[in-house]
Amino acid sequence: KTAKNLFFGVYFAGAIKTNTFRIRLYEPSGAKLYDKSQTIKKEANVRFLYGGKSKRTLPWRQGRYRAVFDLMTGKKPVLSVERFVQFR
């Protein structure tokens, strides 16, 4: 609750140039806290991608935060990950 940073990272294999990814973090209310989409520019056997909020001055609200990662080839989903963290 007193941490200044909240990050979500995904480690995966098999990224190709035309893939796009999207990382989102949601507050307990459902409001978007972070949203980033990007096309992968360079093929890689293994990738680590992350996103989040840093240097926050206010305490985090109590509740369940949700993080979502999607990897797409064109409009076809290749990988989707959803994780939760609870602040009390």
pLDDT tens, position by position, 69-78: 999 998 899 9
Asked which of 14-23, 32-41, 54-63, 78-87 is least confident by mean pLDDT, the reply is 54-63
The structure tokens listed for 21 are 């990814």
Distance between CA atoms of 68 and 81, rounded to whole angstroms? 6
Contact between 84 and 69 under an 8 Å Cβ cutoff? The reply is no
Distance between CA atoms of 59 and 56, rounded to whole angstroms? 7
User: End-to-end alpha-carbon separation of the chain, Å?
Assistant: 7
